[in-house]
Structure 1
Amino acid sequence: MSFNIGLSGIRAASSDLNITGNNIANASTVGFKSSRAEFADVYAASILGTGSNAQGSGVLLNNVAQIFTQGNINYTENSLDLAINGNGFFVTSNNGALSYTRAGYFGTDRQGYIVNNNGERLQGYGVNAVTGRINEGVPTDLRVDTRAANPNRTSEVSSTLNLNSTAVRPVAAQNVYDSTFATEYSAYINDNGFDPDNLSADEAAEARAHAEPLALEASRDAARSGFDPSDSSTYNSSTSVNVYDSLGNAHVMTKYFVKTDANSWDMHILIDGRNLDGVLATDPNFSSEPAELTFNSAGALIGGQVTSIDDWQPLDSNGQPAGAETQTLALDLTGSSQYASSFGVTSVVQDGYTTGELAGLEIDDQGMLIARYTNGQTKTQGQLVLATFANQQGLKPLGDTAWAQSSASGEPVIGVPGSGTQGLVQSGALEQSNVDLSEMLINLIVAQRNYQANAKTIQTEDAVTQTIINLR
């Protein structure tokens, strides 16, 4: 029996060496989980069981357990390299056959599907084409949509700016104001028989109250009729922003501000150098109907916060319809002010954009697949899923750093990263093997000694047997 006991010990030590050697061989394998040999002693037994003084019959390899501890995260320059920080496995499909892995080597195939280095497709939730929301339910093959992003026409332009309260009317308008005021003031005095050389304060105030609104109206009319976007002396300030039509064409919207009174301004709006009727500023028939802005004594805007441009028809550079839909633009100046400081725009936001080509992909820690486009926009194209198991040790190794579900592992629990017990995903990184080389090298020494000791048992048994044979 000693021969069998020693032989079982040699087999066990050999298995231990094989398992340790396999761990060492995969020390640099991404997503690899180290294994360990678990041994059990053996006792001979009859139908009635073992005796009270039963002797052992050796050792056997009871189980090869895998250690699913976290490996180190190594950062790479590939955005589709993925690592799991925490619990869970990536789910991949090979023509419907699911496998589970911690190795995050992913890229795209010629059809745009996200695949690992074995060509298996990464599983996740798709996106509803209408709502843009994630379709949580049955996982599917994740695919990168390489088509250009659709343009979005501008519907609202929000600006916050300051108009200089110390600014004066344009020169031509101020001249008209001064001339009209003087004329009306003198005419009122003469019409009412006042003595201009002995004018009382009340008479002067009465004449001023008559002349001022007439002068103001005349100067405002002069400012509007004399407005010329190519002549900076006809306005006080201007600012521009791009707006987009339904085809993604950019158009330059410029707002010109003309001071008309102490707390009043005109805002002229031109798009591509044309008024809102499509007439070029250089055309003899050009005219501009401004929006009126009014500020209170504290410098806050109290009128004209939102100006609506209805049924604007986008035109091309030749003044012909660009083929885009007519659209309505809302200009929101809420928060704008009139203070004694230079003109300035503190913020401008418009909700349109042109078409864009796919510029890159990103995956956030919750597995959201986000596409970046050349127009500065982003779009969610899906969300990968992770799988967890009640008994990870029950998974069946498939090779290629992958496992399959078995009856011992239980059913997979599918969820998005960060939900339940699922870990988080790190994009642009890979999880390294969790093999501890120092520990493995020590295990080699221990397994070698065990092998030698069991061989010594056989050698000793052989010597004892030879002694018995030599008895005469």
Structure 2
Amino acid sequence: MPSFNIGLTGINAASKDLEVTGHNISNSSTAGFKGSRAEFADVFALSYTGVSRLATGSGVNLAAVSQQFNQGDLEFTDNNLDLALNGRGFFVVERDDVREYTRAGQFLVDKDGFIVNSAGQNLMGYPPGVRSGELNEIRVTTGEAEPRATSEIEALMNLSAAAPTIPPDPDNDPSVDIEPSEPDTYNESTSLTVYDSRGGEHTVSLFFQRTGDSEWAVRAFKGDQPIDGDGATAGELVFTPEGTLDLDASTPLEISFDPENGAAEPLNINVDFTETTLYGDRFGVSRLNQDGFAPGQLIDVDVDSDGTVFARFTNGVNRSLGQVAIANFDNPQGLQPVGGTNWVETSSSGQALMGGAGETGFGLIQGGAFENSNVNIAEQLVNLITAQRNFQANAQVISTADTITQTIINLR
């Protein structure tokens, strides 16, 4: 009897629904997992001359198992290499030239410094400063960050307008010789550390001497030795009646000396006093910055919202290691799941459109977090109940058909 077959198709459909629901529930804690939905279609077996209004149908079949790519919740962690995509797109992972796509962003650094997932697949991205061409594995630099020699000092300070003028020398030289060991030859002083090309540290001291109502001489010393040439080349700061620096009338201070440690070249440093003022009755240093730094050790790796991976070093340097590549598809539901919370491209999905996080059509990356499964447990439990009742109802169809068959067989 057709009723047996119809009931059997219903039981098979209910079984598939239970399988899909069970798979969803079992992966409710799997990072980056996307739940699926069983979709069914009715079956009509009609001949060429069949009359559709008289057709009773032949049951049901499984039309598709449709993946649901709605966003999962983000879970924040203490691992900066855990990455979550908030929005559209997939991470690109590769091993042995086999490329796959994933939303699971639990990454770590392997023994060779490459960023990989738990399956050993490399996270792919663009090299620093490059946004085209072949993707590369992203590798974390484990060596030291190279030092940089100081080339400029930015000095923001206030010289006291009430400071006494130090009398000029007998030759009426506006730049009276300053002696660090003789406090009566200068009004104020301050010091900072500068770096040579090998990262060697050197302490430079700046001494200020008021030579007139609006004029100050400034000299640089390393220890007790001047490093700004002779007195005639010392810097001169000239201030306006309002107390700001007169750039046209002032003479820049340039520092030059040989580090004497085998460094590649002597240090040549320009000192910028542009924002220095002559106010009030107190000397104060608000900012005394220099642009050099010593070698640095890697302390951390951060990932920006656009996917740029930065290595942070102890000397304050942030070095870009590359940018995480993001893939998107015209039809994500056409991707083929291959296990490991990964997918591969198919003709149904269309070719991967590559880009970077934050661009049009691509989500943002959240470092220090990963995307949880998008499975709603409450919804899946309701699906279990529904599938169970469907199974029971279709089993009842077969039981009823069997009773009818027995009745017919027992006719005499």
C-alpha deviation, 1:323, in angstroms: 3.5
Paired with 1:49 and 1:360, the residues of 2 have a C-alpha distance of: 72
Q: 1:380 aligns with which of 320, 323, 338?
A: 320
C-alpha deviation, 1:290, in angstroms: 3.2
* SS of alignment partner, residue 30 of structure 1: coil
CA contact (8 A) 1:357 1:373 kept: yes
May I ask how many residue pairs the two structures share in their alignment?
A: 409
Matched residue type, 1:136: S
Q: 1:327 aligns with which of 248, 267, 271?
A: 267
More helix by share: 1
Provide the alpha-carbon RMSD of the alignment.
2.0
Structure 1 equivalent of residue 211 of structure 2:
260
Matched residue type, 2:138: L
Matched residue type, 1:413: L
Seen in structure 2, the aligned counterparts of structure 1 residues 413 and 434 have a Cα distance that, compared at 3 Å, is: same
Paired with 1:390 and 1:445, the residues of 2 have a C-alpha distance of: 35
Seen in structure 2, the aligned counterparts of structure 1 residues 447 and 293 have a Cα distance that, compared at 3 Å, is: same
Q: Which runs of 5+ in 1 are unaligned?
A: 128-132, 174-215, 279-285, 316-320
Structure 1 equivalent of residue 250 of structure 2:
304
Q: What is the TM-score of this pair, normalised by structure 2?
A: 0.94
Residue 157 of structure 2 is aligned to residue 118 of structure 1: no
CA contact (8 A) 2:306 2:358 kept: yes
Matched residue type, 2:189: S
Seen in structure 2, the aligned counterparts of structure 1 residues 445 and 222 have a Cα distance that, compared at 3 Å, is: closer
CA contact (8 A) 2:307 2:356 kept: yes
Paired with 1:19 and 1:217, the residues of 2 have a C-alpha distance of: 95
What is the percent sequence identity of the aligned residues? Answer: 44
Structure 1 equivalent of residue 70 of structure 2:
69
Paired with 2:280 and 2:120, the residues of 1 have a C-alpha distance of: 67
CA contact (8 A) 2:219 2:253 kept: no
CA contact (8 A) 1:219 1:260 kept: no
C-alpha deviation, 1:322, in angstroms: 4.1
CA contact (8 A) 1:20 1:444 kept: yes
CA contact (8 A) 2:45 2:57 kept: yes
Correspondences of 1:341-380 after superposition (within 5 Å): 341-380=281-320
* SS of alignment partner, residue 261 of structure 1: coil
Q: What is the TM-score of this pair, normalised by structure 1?
A: 0.83
Paired with 2:315 and 2:214, the residues of 1 have a C-alpha distance of: 40
CA contact (8 A) 1:305 1:332 kept: no
Structure 2 equivalent of residue 229 of structure 1:
180
CA contact (8 A) 2:326 2:362 kept: yes
Paired with 2:51 and 2:110, the residues of 1 have a C-alpha distance of: 62
Paired with 1:229 and 1:166, the residues of 2 have a C-alpha distance of: 22
Paired with 2:327 and 2:269, the residues of 1 have a C-alpha distance of: 48
C-alpha deviation, 1:309, in angstroms: 3.0
CA contact (8 A) 1:250 1:354 kept: yes
Paired with 2:138 and 2:216, the residues of 1 have a C-alpha distance of: 55
CA distances 1:61-93 after superposition (whole Å, capped 9, x unpaired): 110001000000110000000000000000000
Structure 2 equivalent of residue 130 of structure 1:
none
CA contact (8 A) 1:71 1:433 kept: yes
C-alpha deviation, 1:344, in angstroms: 0.9
Paired with 1:410 and 1:66, the residues of 2 have a C-alpha distance of: 16
User: Following superposition, which runs of at least 4 residues in structure 1 exceed 6 angstroms of deviation?
Assistant: 286-289
Correspondences of 1:242-281 after superposition (within 5 Å): 242-276=193-227
Q: Which runs of 5+ in 2 are unaligned?
A: none
Paired with 1:396 and 1:222, the residues of 2 have a C-alpha distance of: 82
CA contact (8 A) 2:17 2:38 kept: yes
CA distances 1:216-239 after superposition (whole Å, capped 9, x unpaired): 4539669834x3313433321111
Matched residue type, 2:183: S
Larger Rg: 1
Paired with 1:367 and 1:161, the residues of 2 have a C-alpha distance of: 40
C-alpha deviation, 1:374, in angstroms: 0.5
CA distances 1:393-421 after superposition (whole Å, capped 9, x unpaired): 11001011110001111000000001120
Paired with 2:52 and 2:263, the residues of 1 have a C-alpha distance of: 98
C-alpha deviation, 1:277, in angstroms: 7.7
Structure 2 equivalent of residue 290 of structure 1:
234
C-alpha deviation, 1:47, in angstroms: 4.1
Correspondences of 1:4-403 after superposition (within 5 Å): 4-48=5-49, 51-127=52-128, 133-169=129-165, 173=167, 216-218=168-170, 224-225=176-177, 227-276=178-227, 290-302=234-246, 303-304=249-250, 306-310=252-256, 312-315=257-260, 321-403=261-343
Structure 2 equivalent of residue 212 of structure 1:
none
CA distances 1:332-386 after superposition (whole Å, capped 9, x unpaired): 1112111223011122221111111111100011000011001011111100011
Paired with 1:433 and 1:48, the residues of 2 have a C-alpha distance of: 50
Paired with 2:325 and 2:217, the residues of 1 have a C-alpha distance of: 57
* SS of alignment partner, residue 309 of structure 1: strand
Residue 382 of structure 2 is aligned to residue 445 of structure 1: no
* SS of alignment partner, residue 241 of structure 2: coil
Seen in structure 2, the aligned counterparts of structure 1 residues 470 and 272 have a Cα distance that, compared at 3 Å, is: farther
C-alpha deviation, 1:126, in angstroms: 0.8
Correspondences of 1:410-449 after superposition (within 5 Å): 410-449=350-389
CA contact (8 A) 1:44 1:50 kept: no
CA distances 1:5-39 after superposition (whole Å, capped 9, x unpaired): 00110000011111111111111111111111100
Paired with 1:290 and 1:62, the residues of 2 have a C-alpha distance of: 87
Seen in structure 2, the aligned counterparts of structure 1 residues 89 and 137 have a Cα distance that, compared at 3 Å, is: same
* SS of alignment partner, residue 463 of structure 1: helix
Seen in structure 2, the aligned counterparts of structure 1 residues 2 and 368 have a Cα distance that, compared at 3 Å, is: same
Paired with 2:221 and 2:69, the residues of 1 have a C-alpha distance of: 66
